[in-house]
């Protein structure tokens, strides 16, 4: 990513923060402060939910259109939400240095889940934790759901690997597979620090699914030219194979990066408003309330 690109996205991100202000901050022990959106709780009894929103951006940046606005929508649906702008790296730097950010991004999510579950003063210890990831953020969400017991995270889970297991996930046009024809090169290069497909294979999410993988709602568009829809297909097939609850929605058309596809944000900035795609969000909320219990 060029300095001009980064400047553009930084400016748009600041615009989004001002346009969709958070309800408060979630202060973590390592000094991080995450934007917190407080849900309007439904009257019916049932689990409480905390959604961790993971924007896309190929692990090079975090997309402003998949950040605060998503947290606000979950709050309106009665679910608390936090937005996590996890570590990024420029793909050219990753290639040149051989340094990937797999450990950094998994630790960013894993340490957050651990604190939510072990620090009762935060108020979320009894909440069901759901990851909502877009594109590369979808890869991060799916990786956390399938690698929570990985040795990369052993310093966090100690003697209880299940401590870091999310209760569910929503994957939006996710990067999933390292297979030829499906792999998104930038995402996997930034994640692993290698441009060699053989280095990507251990992080091909569909290969790491087990019967213990949490339920997932997945949606994609058939005409996505950035991340092939086959990524979502192979993930859903793997989940079904192991009997894990999964709903897959494939829309007949639509651009990559549509986010909520709502028209609430100025179309001059948020260019993917599409009423055909927009219903995915309510379907995802219904799935979570049904299968993440």
Where residue 244 falls (left for φ over 0; alpha for ψ -120 to 50; beta otherwise) is: beta
pLDDT of residue 45: 75
The pTM of the full predicted model, rounded to 2 decimals, is 0.96
Give the pLDDT confidence of 44-84 residue by residue, as tens digits: 678 999 999 999 999 999 999 999 999 999 999 999 999 99
- Residue 262 DSSP SS3: coil
What letter does residue 123 receive in the DSSP assignment? S
What order do you get walking across the sheet with 246-251 strand by strand? Answer: 24-27, 33-37, 80-83, 49-54, 128-134, 168-172, 216-221, 246-251
pLDDT at 271 (0 to 100):
56
Q: DSSP code of 220?
A: E
d(CA 209, CA 147): 9
pLDDT in tens, the chain (293 residues): 777 777 887 888 888 878 899 999 999 999 989 999 999 876 567 899 999 999 999 999 999 999 999 999 999 999 999 999 999 999 999 999 999 999 999 999 999 999 999 999 999 999 999 999 999 999 999 999 999 999 999 999 999 989 999 999 999 999 999 999 999 999 999 999 999 999 999 999 999 999 999 999 999 999 999 999 999 999 999 999 999 999 999 999 999 999 999 987 655 565 568 999 999 999 999 999 999 99
3-state secondary structure of 51: strand
Residue 42: its pLDDT value, please? 62
**Residue 7: per-residue pLDDT:** 82
Q: How far apart are CA 35 and CA 37, in angstroms?
A: 7
* Closest to 232 (Cα-Cα) out of 139, 165, 160: 139
Per-residue pLDDT tens over the stretch 241-280 = 999 999 999 999 999 999 999 987 655 565 568 999 999 9
Task: Output the pLDDT for position 114.
Answer: 97
């Amino acid at each position: 990513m060029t300095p001009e690109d980064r400047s553009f996205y930084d400016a748009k991100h600041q615009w989004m923060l001002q346009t969709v202000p958070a309800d408060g901050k979630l202060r973590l022990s390592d000094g991080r402060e995450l934007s917190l959106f407080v849900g309007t709780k439904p009257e019916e009894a049932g689990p409480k939910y905390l959604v961790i929103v993971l924007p896309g951006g190929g692990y090079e940046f975090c997309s402003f259109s998949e950040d605060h606005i998503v947290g606000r929508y979950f709050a309106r649906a009665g679910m608390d939400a936090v937005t996590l702008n996890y570590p990024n790296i420029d793909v050219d730097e990753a290639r040149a240095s051989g340094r990937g950010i797999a450990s950094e991004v998994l630790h960013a999510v894993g340490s957050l889940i651990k604190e939510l579950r072990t620090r009762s003063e935060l108020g979320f210890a009894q909440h069901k934790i759901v990851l909502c990831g877009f594109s590369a953020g979808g890869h991060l969400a799916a990786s956390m759901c399938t690698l929570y017991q990985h040795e990369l995270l052993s310093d966090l889970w100690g003697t209880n690997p299940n401590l870091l297991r999310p209760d569910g996930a929503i994957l939006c046009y996710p990067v999933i597979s390292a297979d030829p024809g499906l792999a998104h090169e930038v995402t996997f290069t930034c994640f692993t620090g290698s441009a060699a497909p053989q280095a990507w294979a251990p992080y091909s999410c569909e290969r790491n699914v087990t019967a213990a993988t949490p339920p997932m709602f997945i949606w994609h568009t058939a005409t996505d030219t950035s991340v092939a829809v086959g990524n979502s297909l192979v993930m859903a097939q793997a989940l079904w194979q192991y009997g894990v609850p999964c709903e897959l929605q494939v829309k007949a058309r639509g651009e990559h990066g549509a986010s909520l596809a709502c028209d609430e944000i100025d179309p001059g900035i948020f260019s993917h408003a599409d009423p055909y795609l927009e219903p995915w969000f309510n379907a995802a909320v219904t799935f979570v309330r049904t299968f993440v219990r």
